[in-house]
Structure 1
Amino acid sequence: MGILYYYIFLVLGFLISWIYIQDRLEIKEKLLIVGCGQLGFKIGNALSKNFDVTGIKRKNITDGVQFKIFELDIFSERFIQTIQIINPHYIVYATAADNQSEESYQNAYVNGLSISIKAAMACCNIKHFFFISSTRVYGQKSDENLSEFTLPIPSDFGGIALLEGETILRNSTVPSTILRLSGIYGNNRRSMLKLATTPELWPENNRWTNRIHEDDAVRFLSFLLDSRNGETSLEPLYLLTDNSPATVYEVLNWIRSKLNFPEHPINAKGGLVGKKLISKIIPELNFYFKYSDYQKGYTSIINEH
């Protein structure tokens, strides 16, 4: 009888130890980033703690990378097979056009996206596909706020290609979400700071500007992934902007003041042009921007440098 109890306690001890170990074994879901430019790179590094992240990029990078990167072209014959081998749970399509040409936009946002969707459909693990799109799809000029519920009317080949890619994704069978990002800025995106100090290059017309700090873009994607894992259904579209439109002259003169330059007099030709972008969905979520306006964002950038 004593031997029986001994073996019972031995087995129980083994089971308890096994459960304890399993609870501490972190089995991460797989996240694939197609396109590891500045934004894709930041997404990969930020999410590598909670996901098994793999990136795909035409030219490999090693400096500061905290996740695996495969050197591979979307149009390679090995692309779909490689995606099937990775078999990700989530795909973030974050490629960018090589240049400002119609062909480049078609390749990045229509042809390349179509191939990636086809690859996702061949993966048994796939749970969700995220497409990093752009507010360039809104070609209309209006004094009214444009939101997720505004019908986009592209006015150039870039907006047309982006909207075509969005439509292809919406019509696929892959669960998906489109993120329309407004002007991305951050520590390594300092064009407005340079422009502020060279007023002779300022645009002739004052216009509305809209922006999203790259750190907030990454934080929002992480928020959506957490929501998806928490069984919360995601919207098919989010307009990712800080909800604080400002005129370009206002932003430039404010930056000048922070850099101790005198205010530059405004001699705008014509009236105010451009568009104002406001998300009507994000404010209803339990998400808050770290950089809720250009003052907070550019103050951080200026202090960093």
Structure 2
Amino acid sequence: MTVLIAGCGDLGTQAGLGFAESGHRVVGWRRSPGKLPAQIEGVPVDLTGDLPPIPSDTDVVVIALTADGRTEAAYRATYQDGTANLLDALARDGVVPRRIIFISSTAVHGNDDGGWVSEDSPPAPSTATGAVLADTEKMLAERAPQSVLLRLSGIYGPGRTRLIDQVRSGKVSRGAPHWTNRIHRDDAAAAIVHLAGLDAPAPAYLGTDAEPALLSDVQEFLAAEMGVQLQAGAAPDPALPATGKRCSNALLGSTGFRFAYPTYREGYRAVLQGSGVRHP
């Protein structure tokens, strides 16, 4: 069985290593394939251009793209146009994979009142980039009904230290209490491999850990772990209404998936201890 990973960056590479460990042939498409580990067959590809032949025995396709910027135009060129181009190439070559896994985002759920969302919550993106992802999801459902959407929350892990660096400086700004959702890179990659092996998956899953958390709680945890004193007056104002959303991973958990890092505490401790590497 061949697994094709279109967009073999940090997350795609980690997932590819998981597939390879299970004994599958893994082909990784990216613009700079020379950076891929030996377990993944790298092919130089720009998804917006002409695409190479797709192996005839491709059973699983993982679409894990990264836009060149956070603009609507960049997202549309990468996600919607790139995915459409890939579907055209599959049709051109007569390849019908058993499963297509599209890496989307919980941003398609635009809730910002601190409430809970799940796969049953209708997409209601509040940003132009989220709307592009929702449009791409709809296209996949129409053109490739075997697709499974994995809507990931904020990915953190090796080399992703923006919040750690912010807290280490001791300077954090706060206003209203803000709910956040996270998933460790390794758990996100493991979820991709897991969903590829399910017999009858749901059309979509929220890929997020087991504990939505207030941003201030995560900041205070990191400060305590690093022995950092946060600046005075950094606490959120409880009189203000909460923002953000709380994402449920109950459906993913019901499939038997188990998180290596079920909350931000285990995950960030691993990052602070230097566990793992970020793939270039």
Specify if TM > 0.5.
Answer: yes
Higher mean Cα deviation, 147-156 or 137-146?
A: 137-146
Per the alignment, residue 39 of structure 1 pairs with: 11
Contact 1:148–1:280 (CA under 8 A) maintained in structure 2: no
Per the alignment, residue 216 of structure 2 pairs with: 249
User: Equivalent residue of 2:197, what SS?
Assistant: helix
User: Equivalent residue of 1:82, what SS?
Assistant: coil
Number of residue pairs aligned between Structure 1 and Structure 2: 270
220, 239, 245: which is aligned to 1:275?
Answer: 245
Q: CA–CA distance in 2 between the matches of 1:98 and 1:285?
A: 34
How far has the Cα of 1:102 moved from its partner?
Answer: 1.2
Per the alignment, residue 48 of structure 1 pairs with: 20
Contact 2:113–2:241 (CA under 8 A) maintained in structure 1: no
Contact 1:140–1:152 (CA under 8 A) maintained in structure 2: no
Q: CA–CA distance in 1 between the matches of 2:96 and 2:253?
A: 31
Note the aligned Cα RMSD (angstroms). Answer: 1.8
How far has the Cα of 1:164 moved from its partner?
Answer: 0.2
Q: How much identity, in percent, do the aligned residues show?
A: 28
Per the alignment, residue 278 of structure 2 pairs with: none
Q: Which has the higher contact order (CA 8 A, sep 6+)?
A: 2
Contact 2:108–2:124 (CA under 8 A) maintained in structure 1: yes
TM-score (norm 2): 0.90
Gaps of 5+ in 2: 276-280
- Deviation digits for residues 200-237 of structure 1 (CA, Å, limit 9, x no counterpart): 3534443111001111111112222232xxxx211110
Asked if 1:220 is matched to 2:191, the reply is yes
Where do 1:1-305 residues align within 5 Å? 29-49=1-21, 50-62=23-35, 64-77=37-50, 79=51, 81-83=52-54, 85=55, 87-121=57-91, 122-227=93-198, 232-265=199-232, 266-268=234-236, 270-304=240-274
Gaps of 5+ in 1: 1-28
- Deviation digits for residues 70-98 of structure 1 (CA, Å, limit 9, x no counterpart): 11111222x0x422x45511100001111
- Deviation digits for residues 28-69 of structure 1 (CA, Å, limit 9, x no counterpart): x00000001111111112211221000110122336442111
How far has the Cα of 1:285 moved from its partner?
Answer: 2.1
How far has the Cα of 1:137 moved from its partner?
Answer: 0.8
Supply the AA of the counterpart residue of 2:241. G
Higher mean Cα deviation, 184-193 or 112-121?
A: 112-121
Q: CA–CA distance in 1 between the matches of 2:118 and 2:176?
A: 24
Supply the AA of the counterpart residue of 1:212. I
TM-score (norm 1): 0.83
User: Equivalent residue of 1:304, what SS?
Assistant: coil
Supply the AA of the counterpart residue of 2:257. F
Contact 1:87–1:123 (CA under 8 A) maintained in structure 2: no
| Bigger share in helix | 1
List 4+ stretches of structure 1 deviating above 6 A: none
Q: CA–CA distance in 1 between the matches of 2:94 and 2:184?
A: 32
Cα 1:37/1:173, change in 2 over 3 Å: closer
Q: CA–CA distance in 2 between the matches of 1:54 and 1:234?
A: 23
